[in-house]
Amino acid sequence: MNDARAAKRPEKSARRVPPPLDEVGLRALALGYAARFATTRVRLARYLARKVQERGWDGPHPADIDALIDRLATLGYVDDAAFAAMKGRAMAARGLGQRRVSEALSAAGVAVADRGAAPGRADMLATAVAFARRKRIGPYAPAGNDDPKRREKALAAMLRAGHAMDIARRVLGAGSPEAAEALIAGEAD
């Protein structure tokens, strides 16, 4: 039975090779990518450059990827500031700290000017408390906060999540969930 399936499947070399790209094909790829994924200018440029390299170019002029991306940005299909706001909110909702958000936006190619204003101290505390609650560490730990090894592991987890040392220590030092929530209220005033 395996031989019959293998006979029906075309050999890798016999598979249809997509034709080289031209301006229309490149525009279709760009629109399809922007329609499927929230993206940045840099990510879209990397994708299109990779596709041109894989398939080749068959246009009268060299591929002008930057002009195409500028056109899509003018039309609103690619918006780095909106991407940064969306990604920042999503990561903050997961309890990740400002450093981690900044690193992710940098990796996505979002310019510093498009990243928006840095969150306030109350927002950073709220994110750290949400992370502690989700991971059940610090004041949310079921077994308490007395073991030094457990405190050290919790601090390391907070730092890996991108929280500042002083904020991580304040949240982990809160004696109860109510005290952790009070930290946020105290900074908001």
For position 16, what pLDDT does the model report? Answer: 80
Looking at per-residue confidence, does 169 or 144 come out higher? 169
Across the range 12-39, mean pLDDT stands at 88
Count of CB atoms situated within 10 Å of the CB of 15? 9
Q: For the segment 56-75, what is each residue's pLDDT rounded down to a tens digit?
A: 998 788 889 999 999 999 99
Distance, in Å, from the CA atom of 137 to the CA atom of 24, rounded to the nearest integer, reads 54
Taking 90 as the threshold, does the pLDDT of residue 42 lie above it? yes
Looking at per-residue confidence, does 119 or 73 come out higher? 73
Question: Is the alpha carbon torsion for 160, 166, 171, 172 positive or negative?
Answer: positive
Residue matched to tokens 């700290």: 97
What residue segments make up the domains of the chain, in order of their start?
19-78, 81-188
Across the range 114-129, mean pLDDT stands at 82
Task: Say which range, 41-50, 54-63, 69-78, has the weakest mean pLDDT.
Answer: 54-63
DSSP annotation of 117 reads P
Taking 70 as the threshold, does the pLDDT of residue 3 lie above it? no
Taking 70 as the threshold, does the pLDDT of residue 32 lie above it? yes
Distance, in Å, from the CA atom of 45 to the CA atom of 43, rounded to the nearest integer, reads 5
Average model confidence (pLDDT) across the chain: 87
Taking 70 as the threshold, does the pLDDT of residue 94 lie above it? yes
Residue matched to tokens 């999503």: 90
* 3-class state of residue 42 by DSSP: helix
pLDDT confidence band for 13 (50 / 70 / 90): low
188 near 152, Cβ under 8 Å?
no
Taking 60 as the threshold, does the pLDDT of residue 101 lie above it? yes
165 near 159, Cβ under 8 Å?
yes
For position 83, what pLDDT does the model report? Answer: 92
Across the range 125-144, mean pLDDT stands at 88
